[in-house]
Structure 1
Amino acid sequence: MNSPEDRECPEHNRERVDHEPSSSVHIDGDDDERTALLSPGISPESRTGHVSKERRTFCLFTFFNCNLIVLLWLIMVSIKSSQTGISYTAVVLEEVVQTDVSKTSFDITWLAIFRATVLLLAYAACKWKCRFPVASTTCITSGYAFFKILHTDYSGENSYKFVAIMMPITTFVVAWIEALFMDYRVLPKEQRATQRVHNQHNLHVRQHQSPRGEHPPTQEDDFHSLSEFVDGMDEGDDDLDLDLEDISHLSNEERQYVQQGEDAMRNVISMLGMESVWNKEKSRDDGDVYTLIGPNNMKIFILKMSLLCPPEVVYEEVMLRPERMPSWNRAVIDCQVLMRISDHTLVTYDVSAGAANGYVKPRDFVNVRRIEKQGQRYISAGMSTSHEDKPPSSDFVRGNNDSGGFIVQKNSEQRNACSFIWILSTDIKGSIPRYLVNKSLAEIMFAFASSLRQHLKDTHTQHRPSSGAVPRHSRL
C-alpha cells in the first residue's frame, strides 16, 4: 500500500535509504534484451531472441516513412483536384490506373508500401539479423527515384507539381536513413548485446562447474577489484571449504534462511564477474558508482572505493557488527540482529532514516545475510526475507532488497589498504517515482562512503591486531 505520507517534491528528491542490499537477483540486460541472465536453465539464444529497443525504433520509423509518402501523395491529389476542377475520386482513379510513370506519382506510393512491407516482415516478424533486406530495398528505391525524377513531366506551373517532385526525393532520403540506422545502430548493438549475454552465460556456467572460490578474472580497474579477488585466493588458504558446514541440526526454517543466503552469495559473485558491462554513473573522491540493469528494468547500483585500512578492520566494522552501523551511518536509524543461525548466516532488521522533512517515511527491511571469507576477500551477501518477530508495521514502509552486499578485498599493492565494493539493488516501495529514487541512490552511496571513511579514521587506531591475529568470527 502506498502511504499518503510518501509525498515527494522535486526539491526533496533524495531519500536516505542506506542499508545492506539483498533478494535473489537474476541480472537483466538493458531494456534491450537480457532477462533472467543468471538463470542457468535459460539459454542465451532465448534471452536475445526478442525485439530490441533499437529494432522497435527502426520498425516504427519505417512505418512512419511509409505513411509520410502516402500523406504526400494524398496532398498532391487534393491540390491537383482543386486546380484542375476534376473531382477528388476521379483524380485518385486516374493516378492509380495511369501506366505512364511520367504522369503519375502513385508508383512512388506503391514503392514506399513495398519497402515498408519487406522491412517490417524481415526485421519485425522474422527478426532477421542481416543487412540484405534493407540494402536491397534501398538500392531499388534509390534507382527508381533517379529514374522517376528523370522521366517525370514537370511542365506547367501547377503547385501540385512541387509535391510530385518532393515525393521521389523524400523516399530516396528516408530509404538511406533507414539503411544507415540499421547498419550502424541496430545490428551492431544487438550483436554486442548477444555477445555479452553469451559471455556472461558462459561465465555463470563456469562458476557453477569450477571449484568453489575460483572465478575467471575480468579486466583490471583502478581498484584491482576482480584481479585482486582471484589473486588473493591462494591454494594454501584455509576457510575456503565453506559448503561443508554442518546444517543438519537446523530447523526447516533455518535451512531456508541458509539457502537464501547461499543464493544471494552466488548472485553477488556472478555480478562481480560481470564487471565488464558495468556502466559508470558518477565518480567522486570517495569512489565510483556504477550501474547494471536488473529485473523489471530496475537499476543495480555498485559503489567501488579504496580504503587506507586493513581489510580485517572493515570486515569487522561493517560485516560482523551490523548493529553498530547506526552509530556512524546517519542514513540508518536502527539495525538489529534477529537470528544468528550459523557462523555464516544471520537475519537482520534494518530501518533507514526518513527524508525531506518527513515527506518521505522511514523504510524498514528484514534481510538474511551470509558472510564468508574466500581467500583474501570477505563477502557479506544478502536478500530480503521475512521473520515472525518483525512483521510489516504502519510506522514504516516495508522495502525489498534484491541480492547485494559488501565485498572487502586486500590491496596487493599497499600493505594496509583494501578495496571495498557495495552492491545495492533495492525497491523502497511507497509512492515515490522510481526515477527520483535512482537519482538519489548514487548520492546515498557517496554519503555512505564518506561516513565509512570517517568512522574508520576515528576507530583505526583502536584496531591494530597483532601479527597473525584474526578478529572474532573471522574464521568462518
Structure 2
Amino acid sequence: MNSTQLRELAKVTADTLQGYLRDTEDWKTSKKTKDVLVEHKHSAIAGNEHGYLYRAQCEFNCSKDILFKYMYPIGGAESELRKKWDKDISDLQLVEKIAPDLSVNMVRTNSAAMGMIYPREYVDLVFEICDDDVMSCNAVSIDCPAQPSNPKFVRGWNHPCGFFCHDIPGHPGRAKFVLIVQTDIKGNLPRSLVDSAIPGAVAGLCNNLRQILKKDGYLTR
C-alpha cells in the first residue's frame, strides 16, 4: 500500500475504535478488580468471528500526557520507557515513519501462559491522534514485505486495537485509560487457552502501568 492508502486505512481504524468506545451493548465482564474492569464481546470483524473484542478501563491520578508517555508503543528512543516496565514486550521497532502521526511498527512479545503460548510478533500501522482532551494510538496489522517473519516468532495479527488517555471532566489531574485488544495470535493453540489468558494479561498490563507510575512518583494519590 502507498502512503495515501495507509492514511485511509488508519482513519478507518480510528473510526472503528471510536465505535468500540461508544458501544454499550452485549459486553460481558471478563475480569474485575478494585482498579480495572475488563469486558469482552464477540468480534464483528470479518475473519475473526470466533474471536473476541476486549475493552479494559481504569482511572489514574495523573495527567493523560503521562499515561501516553508510558504507553508509547512506537519503536525508537521514546519506546525505551515502555520496554522498561512492560514485561510482555521483548522488542519494539520502528519499521517506517510515514508521517509525524503515522508509522509502521513491529512489536515482539515474550512467551505467555507458563510457556504454552510461544513468543509472537506483530507488524502494525499505528495512527496517533492527540488533541486537548484525548491522546490515542489506533493500530491494525498490515502485510509488510519489508519486514518478513522471524522464524523464532509466530506472526500474529491485530485487528483494530489501541488505547486512549483522556481527561476526566471536573477532575483536574485525573485521567481515564481505555485499552482495546482484538488479536489473532495465530499458531495451533486451543481457543479456550487464548480466551482464558487474554483478560488476565490485559488487567496485568493496567496494574503494571499503575505500579511503575507509583514508583516513578507520578500518581498524586
TM-score (norm 2): 0.88
| Residue 308 (structure 1) aligned with residue 52 (structure 2) | no
- Which amino acid in structure 2 is aligned with residue 415 of structure 1? P
Task: Work out the CA distance in 1 between the residues paired with 2:71 and 2:168.
Answer: 18
Task: Work out the CA distance in 2 between the residues paired with 1:452 and 1:433.
Answer: 29
| Structure 1 counterpart of 2:118 | 361
| Cα gap change, 1:285 to 1:435, in 2 (>3 Å) | same
| Structure 2 counterpart of 1:403 | 160
Asked if structure 2 preserves the Cα contact closer than 8 Å seen for 1:309 and 1:460, the reply is no
| Residue 254 (structure 1) aligned with residue 7 (structure 2) | no
- Which amino acid in structure 2 is aligned with residue 293 of structure 1? H
| Residue 274 (structure 1) aligned with residue 23 (structure 2) | yes
- Once the two structures are TM-superposed, the CA of residue 356 in structure 1 deviates from its matched residue by 4.7
- Once the two structures are TM-superposed, the CA of residue 286 in structure 1 deviates from its matched residue by 3.0
- Once the two structures are TM-superposed, the CA of residue 293 in structure 1 deviates from its matched residue by 1.1
| Residue 327 (structure 1) aligned with residue 84 (structure 2) | yes
Task: Work out the CA distance in 1 between the residues paired with 2:171 and 2:217.
Answer: 16
Task: Work out the CA distance in 1 between the residues paired with 2:16 and 2:63.
Answer: 26
Task: Work out the CA distance in 2 between the residues paired with 1:425 and 1:278.
Answer: 14
Gap regions ≥5 residues in structure 2:
none
| Cα gap change, 1:404 to 1:320, in 2 (>3 Å) | closer
Asked if structure 1 preserves the Cα contact closer than 8 Å seen for 2:74 and 2:105, the reply is no
| Residue 421 (structure 1) aligned with residue 178 (structure 2) | yes
Q: Which structure has the greater CA radius of gyration? A: 1
Task: Work out the CA distance in 2 between the residues paired with 1:320 and 1:312.
Answer: 14
Asked if structure 1 preserves the Cα contact closer than 8 Å seen for 2:31 and 2:200, the reply is no
| Structure 2 counterpart of 1:455 | 212
Task: Work out the CA distance in 2 between the residues paired with 1:357 and 1:420.
Answer: 28
Task: Work out the CA distance in 1 between the residues paired with 2:58 and 2:37.
Answer: 7
Q: Would you identify which runs of 4 or more consecutive aligned residues in structure 1 move more than 6 Å?
A: none
Task: Work out the CA distance in 1 between the residues paired with 2:65 and 2:199.
Answer: 26
| Structure 2 counterpart of 1:208 | none
Paired positions, count:
211
| Structure 2 counterpart of 1:44 | none
Q: Which moved more, 1:398-407 or 1:375-384?
A: 375-384
Asked if structure 1 preserves the Cα contact closer than 8 Å seen for 2:36 and 2:58, the reply is yes
- Which amino acid in structure 1 is aligned with residue 208 of structure 2? S
- Once the two structures are TM-superposed, the CA of residue 404 in structure 1 deviates from its matched residue by 1.2
Deviations 1:288-342, CA, capped at 9 Å, x for gaps: 0011211313110110001111011112221375533221111111111111211
- Which amino acid in structure 1 is aligned with residue 7 of structure 2? V
| Cα gap change, 1:339 to 1:420, in 2 (>3 Å) | same
- Once the two structures are TM-superposed, the CA of residue 255 in structure 1 deviates from its matched residue by 2.2
Larger relative strand fraction? 2
Asked if structure 2 preserves the Cα contact closer than 8 Å seen for 1:369 and 1:380, the reply is yes
Task: Work out the CA distance in 2 between the residues paired with 1:421 and 1:356.
Answer: 24
Task: Work out the CA distance in 2 between the residues paired with 1:297 and 1:375.
Answer: 37
Asked if structure 1 preserves the Cα contact closer than 8 Å seen for 2:31 and 2:203, the reply is no
| Structure 1 counterpart of 2:187 | 430
| Structure 2 counterpart of 1:162 | none
Q: Which moved more, 1:329-338 or 1:269-278?
A: 269-278
Task: Work out the CA distance in 2 between the residues paired with 1:273 and 1:436.
Answer: 29
Q: How is 1:35-184 mapped onto 2 (pairs within 5 angstroms)?
A: none
Larger relative helix fraction? 1
- Once the two structures are TM-superposed, the CA of residue 285 in structure 1 deviates from its matched residue by 2.0
Asked if structure 1 preserves the Cα contact closer than 8 Å seen for 2:73 and 2:92, the reply is no
TM-score (norm 1): 0.42
- Once the two structures are TM-superposed, the CA of residue 450 in structure 1 deviates from its matched residue by 1.2
The share of aligned pairs that are identical, in percent, is 20
Task: Work out the CA distance in 2 between the residues paired with 1:384 and 1:346.
Answer: 12
Task: Work out the CA distance in 2 between the residues paired with 1:344 and 1:301.
Answer: 25
- Once the two structures are TM-superposed, the CA of residue 276 in structure 1 deviates from its matched residue by 4.1
| Cα gap change, 1:448 to 1:262, in 2 (>3 Å) | same
